[in-house]
Amino acid sequence: MLLRTEGNARELMSAGCVTERYTQDGWQWAEVLTRTLAEEGSPDAALKLLLAVPATPEVWAAASGLGSELADIYWSRMNPWSTGPDHARELVELLIEHGRSWYAVQLLAQRALTETATLDDKTIQLIVKALDGALAADASAETPVGAGDYEVDQLLGILRGSDVPLDRVAGLEWAFFPLLEGLHGTPALFSKLSSDPAFFVELVSLAFRPEDAPAGESDAGDARIALNAYQVLGAWRTIPGTTGDSIDSDQLMDWVRRTRELLVGAGRLDIGDQQIGQMLSASPPGRDGAWPHESVRDAVEASESQHIIIGFRIGAFNARGVTSRGLLEGGAQERALAKRYRSWAAAVRKRWPRTASALDELAHGYERDA
């Protein structure tokens, strides 16, 4: 019998024959043959048969009946995409149980969560379990081709709209940030940064050494965490107290004050202030038409921090991104930007002199580059 043969070509041939026969006669035929092979002392052949037919609860039960060793082989090799929508959710749980959580994430996002699926508490907990399993997966474990950002973002989007606590969702966004960065948003993570000064200081402490600490080496794990924290801070531009284009000045000032107190205790005030300044550079225009928003100007003035101003200038400059221009255009773009910053500086100078100074420095930089 072909199922008892070895060799890739013959195995492929036997799998094709089994699939064709299964299409004709269904599980009843496969069940009888599986039992016969096992009883005749050919459990390996029975396993090959089970791997060649669609994944259904009957097949999973039959695989378990072959003994734990062969059952483990079945779960390590079975094709999750051979199951139908009716059994996809049950299979997701089994894949997590057998260490194939990345496949569970893909199957859950693409097949189990159909448009008519009920997003009850059990489903939400299954999503969390699948994502946790993917994070805990051994780096050497098999992952599906293309496993990643789209499915993770889809599942996180469901969690954001659920009753799962913000901290829990933010923690998952933090863990998956290297996968999501630049492609998908992490609003829960950024919201937590904007509402929790201690969390901001925790990330600053992960990304940067204390100001009085000697230089030294760190292990690869610490370096990965530090890089993740650095990238999260670099991408974060959600100003505390923001609602639409409005910024609550009291909320922002309170956040800056409490954060800076914690930064002093962490020995990272200067670098933390620069991160605050870069975040503030994402400000919308103010009610008076000048930039930045009045609440941001108030925060800059109240802090009396040169490092916040440094960070603000860095953030504003970096926000411009890559530019293109005509062959003979020269520095026209830079001169236009310098004029705009000079105009804003003049508009805010009387009430917000530190902010005006930062705007003047930005204008001077563009004039120098023109």
Q: Please give the Cα distance from 314 to 272 (Å, whole number).
A: 14
Of 58, 42, 109, 61, residue with least CA distance to 81:
109
CB atoms within 10 A of CB 192: 22
Q: Is 137 helix (H, G, I), strand (E, B) or coil?
A: coil
Q: Please give the Cα distance from 351 to 170 (Å, whole number).
A: 38
Q: Exposed, middle or buried by CB within 10 Å (0-12, 13-18, 19+), for 66?
A: buried
Q: What pLDDT, on the 0 to 100 scale, is given for residue 249? A: 96
> Which DSSP symbol is given to 288?
T
Both structure tokens of 33: 């043959």
Both structure tokens of 320: 């411009």
Q: What pLDDT, on the 0 to 100 scale, is given for residue 217? A: 60
Q: What pLDDT, on the 0 to 100 scale, is given for residue 84? A: 87
Q: Dihedral sign, CA of 155, 156, 162, 165? A: positive
Q: Please give the Cα distance from 118 to 302 (Å, whole number).
A: 50
Q: pTM, whole model, 2 decimals?
A: 0.85
- Please name the residue that has the structure tokens 């004709």: 24
Q: Please give the Cα distance from 242 to 360 (Å, whole number).
A: 26
Q: Which parts of the chain fold into alpha helices (H)? A: 8-39, 43-52, 57-64, 68-77, 85-97, 101-107, 121-136, 149-160, 166-180, 187-195, 197-207, 220-235, 249-266, 269-280, 294-303, 306-319, 332-348, 353-369
CB atoms within 10 A of CB 345: 21
Which residues in the chain land under pLDDT 70?
A: 1-16, 114-118, 138-147, 216-221, 321-331, 370
Q: Exposed, middle or buried by CB within 10 Å (0-12, 13-18, 19+), for 341?
A: buried
Q: What pLDDT, on the 0 to 100 scale, is given for residue 10? A: 43
Burial letters for 288-320: b for 16+ Cβ neighbours within 10 Å, e otherwise? eebbbbbbbbbbbeebebebbbbbbbebbeeee
Q: Please give the Cα distance from 72 to 66 (Å, whole number).
A: 10
> Which DSSP symbol is given to 118?
-
Q: What pLDDT, on the 0 to 100 scale, is given for residue 184? A: 81
Residue 296 and residue 304 in contact, taking contact as beta carbons nearer than 8 Å: no
Residue 114 and residue 125 in contact, taking contact as beta carbons nearer than 8 Å: no
Those residues with Cβ within 8 angstroms of residue 45's Cβ, 6 or more apart along the chain or in another chain? 1, 3, 4, 37
- What single letter denotes the amino acid at residue 203? L
Give me the percent of the chain exceeding a pLDDT of 70.
86
Q: 280-317, pLDDT tens digit by residue?
A: 999 999 999 999 999 999 999 999 999 999 999 999 99
Q: Please give the Cα distance from 49 to 80 (Å, whole number).
A: 16
